[in-house]
Structure 1
Amino acid sequence: MKLTILGGGGFRVPLVYGALLTDRGEGRVTEVVLHDLDDSRLYAVARVLDEQAARVPDAPRVTATTDLDEALRGADFIFSAIRVGGLEGRAHDERVALAEGVLGQETVGAGGIAYGLRTVPVAVDIARRVARLAPDAWLINFTNPAGLVTEAMSRHLGDRVIGICDSPVGLGRRIARVLGADPKEAWIDYVGLNHLGWVRGLRVAGRDELPRLLADPDLLGSFEEGKLFGVDWLQSLGAIPNEYLHYYYFNREAVRAYQQAEKTRGAFLADQQAQFYAEMKRPDTAALTAWDRTRAEREATYMAENRETAGAGERDADDLSGGYEKVALALMRAIARDERTTLILNVRNQGTLSALDADAVIEVPCLVDANGAHPVAVAPLPEHATGLVCAVKGVEREVLAAAESGSRTTAVKAFALHPLVDSVNVARRLVEGYTDVHPGLAYLR
């Protein structure tokens, strides 16, 4: 089976390949094609993968190309993890927003809108090529903003594009662990949009264990979300929010922390990865060792400003292991082998949440089989969560409309309607600032 990875020179690709190396079953991936626009990054990642495979018999064969059509032809699965504008673009997203006193995070608020505006046209072009060159392939999207990009691609690929994210997986794993349950045996009632969802229940053997967690302040404050949001707030909500909701619930504190940080997250990663790729140009570099060292530092500093604001301390060691690659592998296995499983995924709503239309991409538990991912019926969200979900989905739709029409006016509307942008005039200045620094937004007129 052939897997094509778009963004194949990306730093996290070895996580995906490492997961593939653990799969010895029939119908496994035997060929991996890496596609990237930067051949030096492809070379660096291919070196890491080569060292990963050194002691694994019959490891999937790896090839690399900068030709997108060549990469897509004959693919059974396509994994999209592109970053339009690179990490330098992410750093620009952060700086422009913070200069206006609003959040610049890559998926939430102004930064997420800017990233979406320059990513959607590229993602749509990829979707059209997949429909033409690999119509039977399944596309697994991890490109951020994941829900927005998945919805843009679904307009051309239908339900054959599925978005994944490791945040709900990590959240469910942490809750199960603190309750003494096996995450593999737990049913996680999680509902929302990508980076905007809530765990409302965790059932083990038919019993909802979440009320026990919410009623125990010591237990509730012992893991990442309890430290990040605070015990009182979680008990008020009666649910455990995705960590990205910290940007909404504690927005003023988050913006201040990012403004005061020595470097924004994007700038930190740009410098860190520049060092890694430069190191990889030396033939004597131990590629896998260098990658492992860089990854550990990257994950330890994840959402550091938010944790500092909340006084949450350092991340637990158990939370430094990623997870999206495991979701991707489980999803591919379920479809390719009809190994039915349940995963939290980004898929078209299809009536699951009554507040949104059928084509809106949401993030919910899905039953997965050879025919794809099927969202499970869920109870309605409470009013406060429904209002936030509808508002952010409305912004996503304006982003899609702006990307399709090239309308600068619609882009301003997208920014102005976001709950974390507090003025139409700020929205106008954001569009001006972003078009000044991003060549990829020149289409906005």
Structure 2
Amino acid sequence: MIKKQIITIAGGGSTYTPGIIQAVLNNANRLPLSEIRLYDIDPQRNEDMYLIIQYMLKKEGFTDVMISSTEDPKTAFTGCDFIFSQIRVGGMKMREKDEKIPLNHGLVGQETCGLGGFAYGMRSMGGLLEIVGYVQKYAPEAWILNYTNPESIVSEAVRRQYPKAKMINACDMTISIEETIAVNYGYDRKNWIPTYYGLNHFGWYTSIYDKKLKKDVMPEIIEKLTTKEMKVAEFNEGDKTWQEAFNMMSVITRNFPQNIPNNYLEYYLYSDMVVEKADKNYTRANMVMNGREKNTKEMAKKIRSGVTEDILNFNFGEHGQYIVDMATSLLNDERQRFMLIVPNQGAIPNLRSDAVVEVPAYIGAAGVEPISLREPINDFHKGLMEAQVAAEKLLVDAYFEGSYQKALQAFTLNQTVPNARVAKKVLDEMIEANKEYWPELV
């Protein structure tokens, strides 16, 4: 019989926490639970989420599961079995700056891509390394399942400082893409064995084998993508920015019809189009603050005031299920297949071995087993990836060395930046904006 697990959510106040908890509860037979701990440095957000999760547990009949919220790492991590990490260093206030500062210079303003993503990466490295350090101290045998962005950058930083940490890095974007494609074009994603390679938010599908149809359906999906734009799936319904992102998938596919792209490639391949349609005064951060963030506060307020009817108003999507599937695959040796962010080490044979790449991998009791693609990737994809890998590595160097020169090189080499002049302007503004979070660069 499997021991009941203690799960700590680092970044417990996140609006994504209810989706994760709902997935945990839905899979209680595979992931039996004794305790949930919410760890966050923002006590108000953590308390709001504590009330919401407590309400969920009672509503779902899990009255025997303990729930707590804490700002103390020793209390949060001691004796826990899994840490689900989804921290956002600097919160939405800093995300807004990540988006608006580049836009003011005519560059892509996005939380994980471009120079906004690099600014976020410089903050996230410190925050996640702190979490991993706590886990090494208080729960060295626990598995850290990481959603903290930007994934390639933070996983490289952890690999350098804690090479033996039991951490798995994953992004749910590929699952969202696959589900959106399946819903739009009449497939069942559960029948799919997809093959994909790239960097985080920077990759391509090479095949999607359908077990029921007994064939690779990627060629027919490409044909459909080029002729009929997709509508967002239910979990992104009503979200204008996600609809625009999936519209851009059709643009990318029409111009480069050999593969199905990750929709985030729009920021690198069509940065001018992205900037043209962006609102410099009201970015995605503002939408989230006025949407998910506000919604969460209202739910917590209702619970405090004693409202007893169903007050939950979340669109859970695939985010929570993906991380729970990783946990159950570890716990039960299920050897499920995921898209994971791992050191390359030959998985993509003609890409530098120390790159941090996103490729298919199996998870079992012993951890992660990446799949080798065996065949070299084409020069177009390799060239894009090599430049971005070099930029990301320079950024991680800048963090550990406190090097302004390395940071400037990273900003200049980022695939969304046209020249060193604008790279330096944005870097200098980002340094000023991030004084509280970045290491000193000299």
Any unmatched runs of 5+ in structure 1? 297-320
Separation in 2, partners of 1:266, 1:226: 19
1:110-139: per-residue Cα shift (whole Å, max 9, x none)?
100000011112222222222232211111
Asked whether the 8 Å contact 2:225–2:250 carries over to 1, the reply is no
Aligned partner of 1:4 in structure 2 is 8
Aligned partner of 1:200 in structure 2 is 206
Any unmatched runs of 5+ in structure 2? 233-244
1:432 and 2:428 correspond: yes
Which of 212, 222, 230 is equivalent to 2:250?
230
1:65-88: per-residue Cα shift (whole Å, max 9, x none)?
101132121121111111111100
1:104 and 2:105 correspond: no
Aligned partner of 2:58 in structure 1 is 54
Aligned partner of 2:222 in structure 1 is 214
State the secondary structure of the residue aligned to 1:238.
coil
State the secondary structure of the residue aligned to 1:187.
strand
Separation in 2, partners of 1:271, 1:221: 28
Which of 42, 54, 72 is equivalent to 1:38?
42
Aligned partner of 1:299 in structure 2 is none
Deviation at 1:348? 2.3
Asked whether the 8 Å contact 1:88–1:267 carries over to 2, the reply is no
State the secondary structure of the residue aligned to 1:440.
coil
Separation in 2, partners of 1:429, 1:261: 17
Deviating more after overlay: 183-192 vs 55-64: 55-64
Separation in 2, partners of 1:159, 1:288: 44
Deviation at 1:360? 2.9
Letter in 2 for 1:266: A
TM-score, length-scaled by structure 2: 0.88
Q: 1:245 to 1:288 in 2, by over 3 A?
A: farther
1:75 and 2:80 correspond: yes
Q: 1:40 to 1:248 in 2, by over 3 A?
A: same
Separation in 2, partners of 1:285, 1:434: 44
Aligned partner of 1:313 in structure 2 is none
Q: 1:227 to 1:270 in 2, by over 3 A?
A: closer
Aligned partner of 1:95 in structure 2 is 100
Deviation at 1:367? 1.1
Deviation at 1:358? 3.9
Letter in 1 for 2:286: A
Aligned partner of 1:398 in structure 2 is 394
Separation in 1, partners of 2:93, 2:148: 16
Q: What is the aligned-residue RMSD (CA, Å)? A: 2.4
Aligned partner of 2:305 in structure 1 is 284
Q: 1:99 to 1:286 in 2, by over 3 A?
A: farther
Deviation at 1:173? 2.2
Aligned partner of 1:167 in structure 2 is 173
Asked whether the 8 Å contact 2:40–2:70 carries over to 1, the reply is yes
State the secondary structure of the residue aligned to 2:417.
coil
1:181 and 2:177 correspond: no
Separation in 2, partners of 1:441, 1:347: 25
Deviation at 1:4? 0.9
Asked whether the 8 Å contact 1:154–1:161 carries over to 2, the reply is no
Q: 1:248 to 1:69 in 2, by over 3 A?
A: same
1:371 and 2:366 correspond: yes
Aligned partner of 2:26 in structure 1 is 22
Separation in 2, partners of 1:277, 1:323: 19
Q: 1:75 to 1:350 in 2, by over 3 A?
A: farther
Asked whether the 8 Å contact 1:4–1:75 carries over to 2, the reply is yes
Deviating more after overlay: 321-330 vs 227-236: 227-236
Q: 1:288 to 1:21 in 2, by over 3 A?
A: farther
Aligned partner of 2:237 in structure 1 is none
Q: How does 1:206-355 map to 2 (within 5 A)?
A: 206-216=214-224, 220-223=228-231, 227-230=247-250, 233-234=253-254, 236-258=256-278, 260=279, 262-272=281-291, 275-276=294-295, 278-279=297-298, 280-281=300-301, 283-284=304-305, 286=307, 292=313, 295=314, 321-355=316-350
Q: 1:442 to 1:287 in 2, by over 3 A?
A: farther
Separation in 2, partners of 1:180, 1:120: 40
Q: 1:236 to 1:421 in 2, by over 3 A?
A: closer
Asked whether the 8 Å contact 2:351–2:386 carries over to 1, the reply is yes
1:383 and 2:379 correspond: yes
TM-score, length-scaled by structure 1: 0.87
State the secondary structure of the residue aligned to 2:408.
helix
State the secondary structure of the residue aligned to 1:53.
helix
Deviating more after overlay: 268-277 vs 432-441: 268-277
Separation in 1, partners of 2:348, 2:309: 44
State the secondary structure of the residue aligned to 1:396.
helix
State the secondary structure of the residue aligned to 2:58.
coil
Deviating more after overlay: 93-102 vs 177-186: 177-186
State the secondary structure of the residue aligned to 1:30.
strand
State the secondary structure of the residue aligned to 1:420.
coil
State the secondary structure of the residue aligned to 1:203.
strand
Asked whether the 8 Å contact 1:166–1:324 carries over to 2, the reply is yes
Aligned partner of 2:71 in structure 1 is 66
Deviation at 1:337? 1.1
Q: 1:239 to 1:3 in 2, by over 3 A?
A: same
Asked whether the 8 Å contact 1:3–1:78 carries over to 2, the reply is yes
